[in-house]
Amino acid sequence: MRTFLKSLPINKMIIVAALGYFVDIYDLVLFGMERVASLQDLLQHDFPDAEERKNQVAIIGSSLLSYQMIGMLLGGIFWGILGDKKGRLSVLFGSIVVYSLANIANGMVTNTYWYAILRFVSGFGLAGELGAGITLVSETLKKEDRGLGTTVVASIGLFGAVIAGLTTILLNNWRISYFIGGGMGLLLLFLRIGVFESGMFNALKDESHVKKGNFFYLFSHPKLIAKYFNVIFIAVPVWFVMYFLVQFSPEMTKALGLQNGPTEGKVPIMVAYMGITIGDVLSGLLSQQLRSRKKVLFWFITLTFIFSVVYYLFAATSVFVFYTIVFCIGFATGYWAVFMSSASELFGTNIRATVTTTVPNFVRGAVTLMSAANVWLKPSYGFVNSSIVIGAVVFVLAYIACYNLEETFSKDLNYTEK
């Protein structure tokens, strides 16, 4: 263990990126954890009947999550282009300011109208931090150490969801939870002092003949389009299970017939992210050991599929079995670090921040499409069966994408796309 810890590539850039992602994840999952509590509070006067209010919480909660994800889609494009044109550090600074202030304002809302607007703004800000951090780490470490660097960032960052869960449980006050998330983001800005820009970007920024941050370039050639969508489809299963099986577990377990199941998303999300943190460490280390991103992605997608099937078959057995499966699902989806490494390694320096920032947000934004598909399918098939149909499509696309994905381990990143 001591030898392993000494081998980890730790520097200030990695610490800042990891803590930035920690706050990012804390704020990202906070709405899922406080969805029920916050909307119950905000809707109690408009819907005094408890059962009617409960139905509105589910409907409005799904809508607010879609606003957040749309914000992340648009923010991913904006911050990605900015990162390739103005630098990775400018995105780290700007995104942290936006989502921190937005989350502080989230704690002050008095109606769902402003709640929706601020979830959009929060999502827009949250879209930039991870991509910029991973791009910086990938461009500043030796090619043999990139996977370890992104593993450190992802593992520490994802643990932010566990802390968010503990915070919401201990405080039991959704407004203070938002204030804490925004405050941590603002404190993080002080750590940014002394962090330097990527050398690869600095070497490129004065070369005016090289087009930088051209998002539409990704759609200019069939091979580029295929490569871009392959890496997106690989990670969509992560958000399929986090949306249907974890975040909306109160509704899902009720539909499956679990007695005394979760009434809020706090504990299921926290348990899932405990598993994700462990899974990310293991998947990152396996990728280094096998010198392959592609093999590890295939194995973890398969584990995610297996535990998703187990969830539908056995989650209603008991509360203990449900949480055990949720932890296993979290572990199986812990290939986010390897996925982000692949995304950052697939394209040249002049478009790398755009890709690395947009890809995870397009993955997260797929929640909006899955939600819309669920609304369309649910009247005919029911909540459970409609999610199964959506999941089948998601996993088929993930396997096809993984088969076609380029292996990027130890790839030289000091090049540009022409």
| Tens-digit pLDDT profile for residues 345-364 | 888 878 888 888 999 989 98
Closest CA to 168 of 73, 292, 32, 259: 32
Torsion of CA 64, 90, 105, 357, to 10 degrees: 10
Name residue, tokens 């096998």: 290
pLDDT, the chain, mean: 86
Lowest mean pLDDT among 153-162, 263-272, 373-382, 407-416: 407-416
Q: Percentages helix, strand, coil for the chain, rounded to the nearest 5?
A: 80, 0, 20
* Residue 1 confidence (pLDDT) above 70: no
Protein fold of 9-190+220-404: Growth Hormone; Chain: A; (1.20.1250)
Residue-wise pLDDT for 190-243, tens only, equals 776 566 665 565 666 666 656 766 788 888 888 888 999 999 999 999 999 998
Q: Return d(Cα 337, Cα 152) in angstroms, integer.
A: 9
Q: Residue 57 has what pLDDT? A: 84
Q: Residue 186 has what pLDDT? A: 87
Q: Residue 58 has what pLDDT? A: 79
* Mean pLDDT, rounded, for 126-133: 85
Lowest mean pLDDT among 12-16, 30-34, 120-124, 260-264: 12-16
Lowest mean pLDDT among 81-90, 113-122, 334-343, 397-406: 81-90
Pinpoint the alpha helices (H) of 346-406.
352-404
Q: Residue 48 has what pLDDT? A: 79
All residues at 6 or more sequence positions from 414 whose CB lies less than 8 Å from its CB, including other chains: 200, 349
* Residue 35 confidence (pLDDT) above 80: yes
All residues at 6 or more sequence positions from 35 whose CB lies less than 8 Å from its CB, including other chains: 57, 61, 64, 65, 247, 264, 265
Q: Do residues 110 and 42 lie in contact, with contact meaning Cβ atoms separated by under 8 Å?
A: yes
Q: Return d(Cα 239, Cα 224) in angstroms, integer.
A: 24
pLDDT classification of 3: cutoffs 50, 70, 90: very low
Residue-wise pLDDT for 6-31, tens only, equals 445 556 778 888 888 888 888 888 88
Q: Return d(Cα 370, Cα 387) in angstroms, integer.
A: 8
Residue 175: φ, ψ to 5°: -70, -45
Q: Do residues 254 and 310 lie in contact, with contact meaning Cβ atoms separated by under 8 Å?
A: no
With 0.95 as the threshold, say if the pTM is over it.
no
Q: Residue 117 has what pLDDT? A: 94
Q: Which residue has the higher pLDDT, 233 or 185?
A: 233
pLDDT classification of 403: cutoffs 50, 70, 90: very high
Q: Return d(Cα 110, Cα 112) in angstroms, integer.
A: 7
* Residue 136 confidence (pLDDT) above 90: no
| Tokens linked to 203 | 């070497």
* Residue 47 confidence (pLDDT) above 90: no
Q: Residue 394 has what pLDDT? A: 97
* Mean pLDDT, rounded, for 145-153: 81
Q: Residue 296 has what pLDDT? A: 96
Q: Residue 318 has what pLDDT? A: 94
Closest CA to 247 of 392, 364, 107: 364
Q: Residue 7 has what pLDDT? A: 47
Looking at this protein, which amino acid is placed at residue 310?
V
pLDDT classification of 247: cutoffs 50, 70, 90: confident
Q: Which residue has the higher pLDDT, 8 or 63?
A: 63
- Maximum Cα–Cα distance across the chain: 64
Q: Residue 92 has what pLDDT? A: 81
Q: Residue 4 has what pLDDT? A: 43
Q: Residue 131 has what pLDDT? A: 84
Q: Residue 413 has what pLDDT? A: 77
Would you call 141 helix, strand, or coil by DSSP? Answer: coil
For 150-176, give one letter per residue: b (16+ CB within 10 A) or e.
bbbbbbbbbbbbbbbbebbeeeebbbe
